[in-house]
A and B are shown apart, each in its own frame.
Chain A
Amino acid sequence: MKVLVPIKRVIDANIKVRVKADESGVELNNVKMAMNPFCEIAVEEAIRLRESGHAEEVIVVTVGPAQSQETLRTALAMGADRAILVEADPAPEPLAVAKLLKAVVEKETPGLVLLGKQAIDGDNNQTGQMLSGLLGWSIGTFASHLEVDDAAVRVTREVDGGLENIELVPPAIVTVDLRLNEPRYASLPNIMKAKKKPLDMLTPETLGVDVSPRLETIRVIDPPARAAGARVTSAQELVDKLRNEAKVI
């Protein structure tokens, strides 16, 4: 079985984003970029499936600008076997990404597609679910545990009330949550090896997918700022303030 892992290049999670003065978006120039943390977890899980003999090949794919090749190389250095870039700048909306991924799935015929549950830039939490709808495949979202065999994919999902266990008929789509695993770091030799692994380039046109946006971004602004308040130095003072000033207890 092949495992396909769609990954996304985003602003590094440790960077505090800055909104552009013209309100058109956030500043991406000269900002450190990295693989979306949820995608790292998906790549790690796919590699572990191959290492444990449940998968033969791990293919990573990204939809984005040419620089996204760096992110693909990172995944190859972690241990993915080959990579596909669908070049689109900027990365399209989730529905269009899902349509492109559907075209890639039809070419590659994986038995399992592992995605991050959300990208930490758009925070949309849509792409995997949309892909499952387009393909008519089973879906397990927010996975914190995964078991794969020929007959079934068993997923433990992190839901609002706790955990839920479901069983999926393959081929399946799974989106991964934070506690599924701890992604490995790529070693230097593996980073060198990754440079020679195959990386194919495709475009929305060659895949025959219309990626025109359905949403128009009108403005992007800073959220209302919250100012630091007062310091207290004792429990009694805190309780008094909460009772008499804030009136919340």
Chain B
Amino acid sequence: MSILVIAEHDNTSLRPATLNTVSAAVVLGGEIDLLVAGGDCQGAADEAATVAGVSRVLMADDPALTDGLAENLAPLIESIARDYSHVLAPATTYGKNLLPRVAALLDVQQISDISAIESPDTFVRPIYAGNALATVRSLDAVKLITVRSTAFDAAGQASAAPIEMVSGSQEAGLSKFIGEELTRSERPELTTADIIVSGGRGMQSSENFEMLESLADKLGAAVGASRAAVDAGYVPNDYQVGQTGKVVAPDLYIAVGISGAIQHLAGMKDSKIIVAINKDEEAPIFQVADYGWVADLFEAIPQLEEALDSPSP
């Protein structure tokens, strides 16, 4: 068996979900090649070479690949994928955008967002917002898979694997990258944070979210949100946790003013410890919370900050 993992990166470094995807490849077993396709992407390729489990880094360096446009990337991946038994990509917006296009070119039915591997052709994936787990067997010759990063640990580091150049990419002339508005933050990233403080509609405004940010900074936590909070404009879209936002599984998830709709639970119920702070004692979030505190968040959050400052008796 030989596995191709498609690295997600920003040309200078790898995105963290790449490491979880490599771990899934290690579970499958076999030779692992890590493809770094980008423009001026030596930095990312060098980092890729040090990922534990990787036998070889394939580097495709071409201006057409700089911005990760699927139209330009897919034919390149198609041209090398047939040499492999499996092609894996992270189930991030990058992987979700790219891999199905490759699958169509290869005439393969992709398996999305796997959370476990039962055998080289059989995988578990959540469906219906995580309310059911389906085990599916692929009948295709090459398996194309996106990997849920919270279900696999991040791969560690090892001595450098060789880097080989691959060519054959072309500008498809179908699409153009114009620009991006990325959320800049000193806080840890949602999908890799050990602790997340998340706010919902109960926060009532973006100003009030500053309370959560201050609590998060005290805990070294990332800040997340429900869809309702994002829709209301309290925080940017990339804060959204849930079925249609990010899937997270930190050691500690503190849900503040979040009711616990199934679509929200889909994104966080695999967290190790869940704390819910909500003034409605009937709120469904309490059904999944390890520690539930029925309280008004506007009183509870300042008290919590204070309690964190004082040592335990």
Contacts and interface: CB of A to CB of B under 8 A. Distances in A.
B100 A130 contact: yes
Closest 3 CB pairs of A and B: A133-B104, A129-B100, A214-B109
Contact of A167 (B113, B175, B251, B291): B175
A239 B307 contact: yes
Given A95-B103, A221-B132, A232-B291, A214 B97 contact: no
B22 interface: no
B84 interface: no
A165 B181 CA distance: 8
A242 B277 CA distance: 14
Interface in B264-307: 269, 272-275, 286-294, 300, 303-304, 306-307
Interface stretch (A63-71, A78-86, A154-162): A154-162
Interface of A: 11, 13, 16-17, 19, 26, 38, 93-96, 98, 117-118, 120-134, 136-142, 144, 154, 157-169, 177-179, 213-223, 226, 228-236, 238-244, 246, 248-249
Contacts of B179: 164-165
B79 interface: no
B133 A221 contact: yes
Summarize A's interface: helix, strand, loop or mixed: mixed
Contacts of A167: 175-176, 178
B291 A133 contact: no
B93 A158 contact: yes
A130 B111 contact: no
A242 B132 contact: no
A26 to B, nearest CB: 6
Contacts of B126: 123, 223
A230 B291 contact: yes
B173 A169 contact: yes
Given A236-B307, A246-B290, A139 B237 contact: no
Interface of B: 69-71, 74, 92-94, 96-105, 107-113, 122, 126-140, 173-183, 191, 194-195, 219, 227, 230-231, 236-238, 243-244, 246, 251-252, 262-263, 269, 272-275, 286-294, 300, 303-304, 306-308, 310, 312-313
6 contacts: A38-B244, A161-B182, A162-B181, A166-B178, A214-B139, A216-B139
Contacts of A161: 180, 182-183, 238
B132 A17 contact: yes
A158 B237 contact: yes
Contacts of A94: 100, 109-110
A201 B99 CA distance: 31
B138 A130 contact: no
Contacts of A17: 128, 131-132
B222 to A, nearest CB: 13
A8 to B, nearest CB: 14
A95 B109 contact: yes
Contacts of B110: 94-95, 124, 126, 130
A179 B230 contact: yes
Nearest to B250: A248
B139 A215 contact: yes
B129 A216 contact: no
Contact of B71 (A134, A138, A144, A164): A138
B180 A216 contact: no
A133 B100 contact: yes
Contact of A141 (B97, B134, B231): B97
Contacts of B269: 223, 226
A249 B308 CA distance: 9
